[in-house]
Amino acid sequence: MSASWIRWPWPEQLLEGRPPLAYGGDYNPEQWPREVWAQDAALMQEAGVNLVTLGVFSWARLQPAPDAWDFAWLDEVMDLMAASRIAVDLATATASPPPWLTSAHPEVLPVDRSGHVLHQGARQAYAPSSPLFRELALELVERMAQRYGGHEALALWHVSNEMGCHNAPDYSEAAEIAFRRWLAERYGDVEALNTAWGTDFWSQRYGSFEQVQPPRLAPTFPNPTQVLDFARFTSWQLQDQLRAEAAVLRRVAPDVPVTTNFMVMGHTQHLDYTAWAADVDLVANDHYVMAADPDGQHELAFSADHTRGLAGGRPWVLMESSTSAVNWQPVNPPKAPGQLRRNSLVQVARGADAVCFFQWRASRAGAEKYHSGLVPHAGADSRLFRDAVALGADLAALREVVGSTITNDVALVFDYEAWWVLDQPAHPSAQLHYREVAEAWHRSLWESRVGVDVVGPDADLSGYRVVLVPLLHLVREETAARIASAAEAGASVVVTYFSGVVDEHDHVRLGGHPGAFRDLLGVRVEELGPLLPGTTVHVHGPSVGTATAGTWVEPVDVVDPGATEVVARYLDGPHAGGPAITRARRGSGWAWYVSTELQDAGRRRLVGRVLADAGVAPAVAASEGVEVSVRRRGEAQWVFAVNHGQHAGEVGGGGLDLLTGTEHAGPVPVPAGGVVVLRRPA
């Protein structure tokens, strides 16, 4: 168990030296009359809740006026939690400034790209670069740390909340000043900025940093490197807030770990969590399934594998998810029976040692009154609360997995900077969506029941037998070199089209595509090849059969036919007869190039071939529709099998099902919609 895990306050929680899985959620007692608080504590105990997040949106209560402070109510709740043996993840309460602040100082408000001020009345109405906001926020953090740093119930600090969820990017005057300062530090003199931004294009040369602005709405396409640097700055600025708040907490209460809740889900892309992860003592993530996404179950698995990658393979906290419906999607149906349990246990299967929700008790008022909680509007006599109690029992039964880790043979490289660049306009195609392409490759592995670590561009790739590099459009030389070394050392590296094309300034590498990967792959591409929407082509090769592809095709020249084999050729389309998929021997490994966007069936066959070549097989066999999650390993190993389907299935091998206590000798049945967690010898 890492020393940086939740600091469980009471010795009896550390039974046999092992802490429990954390279970609970956001608790907003200030929305409820006092008499409800005692009921809450009793119901929490009934459900097995052992961790609550307090104070996230409490600033207006804690500091009702500039020079008035009121901690009495929070003292009372903290003491109640301590008396109930429920640990607290205490927020710094800086997530949402109170109206007295924003009405007296409208200059702290964030501004959108068109120059519209985002006013008070919702939440997160602050410009992350505002010096006044920072000053007042840190005063609050100092008081929180001084008052509660030694409190018996305190287990974890929670900086702000979902930082940047609504106020990033911010184009305010404060952002402009801070952006210039950041650029001056990065480039030293304005000529270096002119070179990096390619400002001789369209008469954009700057005479001084004072002339530079954030990339506000402009007559046409903005300078791409300006946009990229502003994205970097936006992530850095909020990370700086995290660091500043964390520094206060660590100074006052050095033994209490610090986290903040990331948003690794769907298309949340403004913050480079790869860089942020170093600033938290443990990685925490919020994840919500999109109800209308037919691949929602897979998206959850991808996000969990990415969160584990950010955590460097160590256990992490699922800080928020929903017990049932949310309120912010176009249509918000409740979760299907059993889905709460399946969603939650998939997160544990993929490395979470905590399962928490937004929120404990569904609100009566406010914008989230139709968001589910553990205690719904119907009260504790409800299906949802009974499900919450059952989930608490499941998590208690899984206590032995705490602290165990997951090792996989396959890595998928995922880079926020590549995402920021790829999402810009004025590209060959607006049909390329970075996360969707990364998810598609991951899904082929998920369907093959082979575990994947989703890792950042600086990750150590040695030790992986397969390294997937989908659509890594921007790549630094160091990252490209690390990927090449992985192949030399024996890995099968798979790089897809439009990768390696630009450097860290978003400048095109000359001499042919795929730029940084040309030598590794042994191919050269002279022209990029977007396909018009709805157009498909076919590729064929002995080991992948005939596969349909779309979105993109490239005219690939094999540079060294002796070392580079054509695995599949285009059957039709603009490059009919030409190479579509190639494979080059590099050291004891392979470097594959896939010059088109294969549809699911073809991608899955190709992945099958790559895995077979690399000697990677699924750890466990299971029937169709049963997701077998990567093994967690410690003193034993644990196989999580989750049946998302309508039919009974099974998972191979035997073991002790921790959820039922049943010992199985042979294949283990997994009921429709059910979950089994099997302990096997390590």
Cβ contacts of residue 52 below 8 Å, gap of 6+? Answer: 24, 25, 26, 27, 44, 81, 86, 87, 88, 89, 360
Is residue 89 at the binding interface for ligand GLA, with CB under 6 A as the rule? Answer: no
CA 338 to chain centre: 24
Q: How far is the CB of 238 from ligand GLA (least distance, A)?
A: 14
Is residue 262 at the binding interface for ligand GLA, with CB under 6 A as the rule? Answer: no
DSSP per-residue string spanning 543-591: TTEEEEEESB---EEES-TTTEEEEEEESSSTTTTSEEEEEEEETTEEE
Is residue 320 at the binding interface for ligand GLA, with CB under 6 A as the rule? Answer: yes
Cβ contacts of residue 331 below 8 Å, gap of 6+? Answer: 291, 292
The Cα-based distances of 287 to 301, 330, 437, 677 in angstroms read 10, 17, 20, 22
Nearer to ligand GLA, 358 or 592 (CB): 358
Catalytic (active site) residue 173 = no
Nearer to ligand GLA, 160 or 239 (CB): 160
Nearer to ligand GLA, 260 or 623 (CB): 260
Tokens of residue 569, six digits? 């050729």
Give the separation between CA 354 and CA 344, rounded to whole angstroms: 9
Is residue 53 at the binding interface for ligand GLA, with CB under 6 A as the rule? Answer: no
Cβ contacts of residue 282 below 8 Å, gap of 6+? Answer: 2, 4, 5, 6, 156, 257, 259, 311, 314, 315, 316, 317
Q: How far is the CB of 321 from ligand GLA (least distance, A)?
A: 9
Nearer to ligand GLA, 91 or 636 (CB): 91
Among 233, 276, 288, 638, binds ligand GLA (CB under 6 A): 288
Give the separation between CA 589 and CA 614, rounded to whole angstroms: 8
Q: How far is the CB of 285 from ligand GLA (least distance, A)?
A: 10
Pairing of strands 668-670, 649-651: antiparallel
Give, as ranges, the residues between 199 and 218 that touch ligand GLA (CB under 6 A): none
Instruction: Mark residues 580-609: x for contact with ligand GLA by CB under 6 A, - for none.
Output: ------------------------------
Among 314, 342, 371, 583, binds ligand GLA (CB under 6 A): 371
DSSP per-residue string spanning 508-538: BPSSSBTGGGHHHHTEEESS--B--TT-EEE
List the end-to-end C-alpha distance of the chain, in Å, as a whole number.
Answer: 17
Q: How far is the CB of 159 from ligand GLA (least distance, A)?
A: 13
Place of tokens 């954390």: 22
Torsion angle in degrees (nearest 10) through CA of 638, 605, 581, 426: -70
Q: How far is the CB of 391 from ligand GLA (least distance, A)?
A: 18
Residue 245: closest CA among 375, 329, 144, 166: 144
Catalytic hit among 162, 439, 554, 597: 162
Cβ count within 10 A of residue 209: 16
Cβ contacts of residue 389 below 8 Å, gap of 6+? Answer: 46, 47, 48
Is residue 358 at the binding interface for ligand GLA, with CB under 6 A as the rule? Answer: yes
Cβ distance 635 to 622 under 8 Å?
no
Nearer to ligand GLA, 286 or 400 (CB): 286
Residue 131: closest CA among 173, 187, 185, 160: 173
Among 30, 112, 240, 368, binds ligand GLA (CB under 6 A): 368
Among 326, 413, 471, 544, binds ligand GLA (CB under 6 A): 326
Nearer to ligand GLA, 324 or 596 (CB): 324
Nearer to ligand GLA, 62 or 326 (CB): 326
Pairing of strands 87-91, 51-54: parallel
465 φ, ψ (degrees, to nearest 5): -90, -25
Is residue 286 at the binding interface for ligand GLA, with CB under 6 A as the rule? Answer: yes
Nearer to ligand GLA, 5 or 57 (CB): 57
Catalytic hit among 245, 299, 320, 400: 320
Give the separation between CA 133 and CA 233, rounded to whole angstroms: 18
Q: How far is the CB of 148 from ligand GLA (least distance, A)?
A: 20
Instruction: Mark residues 158-187: x for contact with ligand GLA by CB under 6 A, - for none.
Output: ---xx-------------------------
Q: How far is the CB of 80 from ligand GLA (least distance, A)?
A: 22
Give, as ranges, the residues between 379 and 398 that touch ligand GLA (CB under 6 A): none
Q: How many residues bind ligand GLA (CB under 6 A)?
A: 9
DSSP per-residue string spanning 183-208: HHHHHSSHHHHHHHHTTTGGG---SS
Catalytic (active site) residue 650 = no
Tokens of residue 292, six digits? 């209308």
b/e per residue 15-32 (b: at least 16 CB within 10 A):
eeeebbbbbbbbbbbebb
Instruction: Mark residues 100-119: x for contact with ligand GLA by CB under 6 A, - for none.
Output: --------------------
Give the separation between CA 541 and CA 562, rounded to whole angstroms: 18
Q: How far is the CB of 51 from ligand GLA (least distance, A)?
A: 16
Give, as ranges, the residues between 472 and 491 that touch ligand GLA (CB under 6 A): none
Nearer to ligand GLA, 286 or 554 (CB): 286
Nearer to ligand GLA, 264 or 620 (CB): 264
DSSP 429: -
Q: How far is the CB of 40 from ligand GLA (least distance, A)?
A: 18
Nearer to ligand GLA, 359 or 564 (CB): 359
Q: How far is the CB of 263 from ligand GLA (least distance, A)?
A: 7
Longest dimension (CA), the chain: 79
Considering Cα of 506, then 511, then 514, then 520, what sign does the dihedral take? negative
Is residue 409 at the binding interface for ligand GLA, with CB under 6 A as the rule? Answer: no
Q: How far is the CB of 250 from ligand GLA (least distance, A)?
A: 23
Give the separation between CA 397 and CA 395, rounded to whole angstroms: 5
Tokens of residue 29, six digits? 């007692």
Q: Left (φ > 0), alpha (ψ -120 to 50) or beta: where does 416 sit?
A: alpha
Nearer to ligand GLA, 259 or 643 (CB): 259
Give the separation between CA 676 and CA 49, rounded to whole angstroms: 22
Q: How far is the CB of 287 from ligand GLA (least distance, A)?
A: 9
Q: Which residues bind to ligand GLA, rule: CB under 6 A? A: 161-162, 286, 288, 320, 326, 358, 368, 371
Q: Annotated catalytic sites, by residue? A: 162, 320
